[in-house]
């Protein structure tokens, strides 16, 4: 359900086809909207034209685009849904009523992964990407074989499961994709083996399917919880927490939950796993890190606690932390252009994330902030109050959320803050450079989502900004 524009759906489809599955790709977007993703599927061997979509040697592929058909959801063996499919989707309801299993890429991987592989899951409102990548780098530094997936860029989880050598044989024997996957995993077909690690960044949508399958990672890391995706959850923080909590709800005795101390104090945490709390105080003061801001100290502390729980020595952890660079799009230093430092914080899609970025710099009002985007129904008042204390200028990117935010501006408080606005990201950067002086900082930290008329997705927004900065002369 949902091909998507990020490429993950494409890779999942290719994997399932190779495993011998008959796949129906159904998406409300049109063929024109999905052209870039469909083009990638056109390379499937012996499949013929996209329009015809005949049987292929290892399975079959058909497309239903621009609409959904109820019957597809009622008659499937398995529905792999898009992460942000509506909670009240009539199509998913039809699947449930018909007794059809519903899952997602990461949850299916967790169900089918070979025995003995240690699954590490990371969630939270902020910091999960940095924490996930840092744990990954620590384990690599320790000489362990480790894979990364989940909600990371180019992270397609299901294909990590196995190299399919017997898929055709299993398909010909009449096994569906789920049973075929189980048999392949049991037979040892796959890159992962006992003692290896897989680190997954998991958002609340992916964890819904973990809950449906009643599974949780062996080691779970829950960084923090703040309002996010309230447009999706319709303001229901309880439901948002319940989805996030699936990361530990089904952990077993002997497994581990690494959790932020504040979260542990503010919520009832019921789990059979060993609970390991952490805070910024747990990050050794003598250790060095290239990451800016107190929030990144918190992320480092989470990764350190997880690595220690896995019996990785402090000497290795310390070296990995010191060598670790910011994840692209997360307070990432791009370049010094004529004495002006430019930072990319594209993945800041909440007010709290942009606040954390602003507070990572000295309070000297040398920041020119580029912000704006699509509304997520979040409280932006604290950010509106803080900006005049931190920024000399703000350049707004026009969008639905931007208009709502501008209504929060207190003209008395914002005296002395220059305000500009543009429809294109290129114009926002040009305006910022026109305003900036040597020693200033240009910070791209949107505080809003990327969806809308200007960008295909968050990665497109990131890539556009990085490209614009690289081309500066």
Across 35-51, average pLDDT = 60
pLDDT value at residue 5:
59
Phi/psi of residue 344, nearest 5 degrees: -110, 110
pLDDT value at residue 440:
98
Task: Identify the weakest region by mean pLDDT among 17-26, 46-55, 113-122, 186-195.
Answer: 46-55
- pLDDT over 90 percentage in the chain: 62
CATH class of the domain defined by 332-470? alpha beta
Q: Looking at the predicted structure, is the pLDDT value of residue 267 above 80?
A: yes
CA separation, residue 321 to residues 77, 122, 150, 284, 286 (Å)? 45, 17, 22, 11, 12
- pLDDT over 70 percentage in the chain: 86
Rounded Cα gap, residues 226 and 382, in angstroms: 13
Q: Which residues contact 344 (CB under 8 A, 6 or more apart)?
A: 328, 329, 331, 332, 334, 444, 462, 465, 466, 469
- CATH 3.90.190.20 intervals, the chain: 332-470
Write out the two tokens for 458: 């968050």
The per-residue DSSP string of 222-284 comes to E-------HHHHTT-HHHHHHHHTHHHHT--TT-EEEEEHHHHHHS----SSEEEEE-GGGS-
252: left (phi over 0), alpha (psi -120 to 50) or beta: beta
pLDDT value at residue 38:
81
Write out the two tokens for 423: 């429809």
107-323 has which fold? 3.40.1190
pLDDT value at residue 155:
64
Q: Looking at the predicted structure, is the pLDDT value of residue 148 above 50?
A: yes
- CATH 3.40.50.720 intervals, the chain: 8-103
pLDDT value at residue 6:
60
pLDDT value at residue 179:
52
pLDDT value at residue 442:
98
Mean pLDDT (the chain) is: 86
Confidence of residue 109 (pLDDT cuts 50, 70, 90): confident
> Which residue in 312, 302, 338 sits closest to 433, CA to CA?
338
Contact 213, 107 (CB under 8 A): yes
Strands of the sheet with 418-422, listed across from one edge: 332-337, 340-344, 441-444, 367-371, 391-397, 418-422
Q: Looking at the predicted structure, is the pLDDT value of residue 49 above 80?
A: no
Q: Looking at the predicted structure, is the pLDDT value of residue 340 above 90?
A: yes
Across 259-270, average pLDDT = 95
Local structure of 202: helix, strand or coil: coil
Across 4-10, average pLDDT = 68
User: Using one digit for the tens of pLDDT, what is the confidence trace for 297-312?
Assistant: 999 999 999 999 999 9
| CA 420 remoteness from chain centre | 31
Q: Looking at the predicted structure, is the pLDDT value of residue 176 above 60?
A: no
pLDDT value at residue 232:
84
Q: Looking at the predicted structure, is the pLDDT value of residue 402 above 60?
A: yes
CATH class of the domain defined by 8-103? alpha beta
Confidence of residue 4 (pLDDT cuts 50, 70, 90): low
Q: Looking at the predicted structure, is the pLDDT value of residue 244 above 90?
A: yes
Across 164-185, average pLDDT = 43
């Amino acid at each position: 359900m949902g091909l998507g524009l990020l490429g993950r759906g494409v890779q999942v489809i290719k994997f399932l086809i190779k495993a011998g599955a008959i796949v129906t790709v159904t998406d409300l977007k049109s063929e024109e909207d999905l052209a870039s993703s469909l083009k990638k599927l056109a390379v499937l061997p012996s499949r013929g034209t996209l329009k015809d979509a005949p049987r292929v040697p290892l399975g079959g592929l058909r497309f239903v685009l621009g609409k959904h058909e109820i019957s597809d959801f009622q008659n499937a063996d398995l529905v792999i849904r898009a992460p942000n499919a509506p909670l009240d989707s009539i199509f998913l309801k039809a699947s449930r009523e018909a007794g059809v299993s519903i899952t997602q890429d990461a949850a299916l991987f967790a169900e089918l992964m070979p025995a003995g592989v240690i699954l590490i899951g990371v969630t939270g409102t902020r910091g999960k990407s940095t924490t996930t990548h840092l744990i990954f780098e620590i384990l690599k530094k320790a000489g362990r074989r480790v894979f990364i997936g989940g909600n990371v860029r180019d992270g397609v989880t299901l294909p990590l499961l196995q190299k399919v050598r017997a898929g055709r044989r299993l398909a010909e024997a009449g096994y569906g994709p789920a049973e075929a996957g189980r048999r392949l995993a049991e037979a040892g077909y796959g890159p992962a083996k006992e003692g290896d690690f897989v680190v997954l960044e998991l958002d609340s949508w992916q964890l819904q399917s973990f809950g449906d399958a009643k599974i949780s990672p062996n080691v779970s890391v829950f960084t923090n919880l703040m309002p996010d995706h309230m447009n999706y959850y319709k303001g229901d923080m309880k439901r948002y927490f319940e989805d996030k909590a699936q990361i530990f709800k089904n952990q077993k005795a002997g497994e581990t939950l690494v959790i932020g101390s504040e979260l542990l104090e503010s919520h009832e945490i019921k789990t059979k796993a060993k609970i390991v709390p952490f805070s910024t105080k747990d990050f050794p003061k003598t250790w060095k890190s290239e990451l800016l801001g107190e929030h990144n100290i918190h992320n480092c502390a989470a990764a350190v606690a997880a690595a220690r729980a896995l019996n990785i020595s402090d000497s290795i952890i310390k070296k990995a932390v010191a060598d670790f660079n910011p994840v692209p799009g997360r307070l990432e230093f791009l370049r010094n252009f004529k004495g002006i430092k430019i930072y990319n914080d594209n993945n800041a899609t909440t007010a709290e994330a942009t606040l954390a970025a602003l507070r990572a710099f000295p309070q000297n009002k040398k920041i020119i902030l580029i912000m704006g985007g699509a509304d997520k129904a979040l409280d932006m008042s604290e950010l509106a109050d803080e900006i005049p204390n931190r920024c000399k200028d703000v350049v707004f990117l026009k969008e639905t959320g931007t208009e709502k935010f501008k209504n929060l501006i207190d003209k008395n408080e914002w005296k002395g803050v220059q305000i500009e606005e543009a429809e294109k990201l290129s114009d926002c950067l040009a305006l910022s450079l026109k305003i900036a002086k040597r020693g200033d900082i240009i910070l791209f930290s949107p505080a809003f989502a990327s969806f809308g008329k200007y960008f295909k997705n968050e990665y497109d927004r990131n890539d556009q900004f990085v490209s614009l900065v690289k081309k500066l002369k």
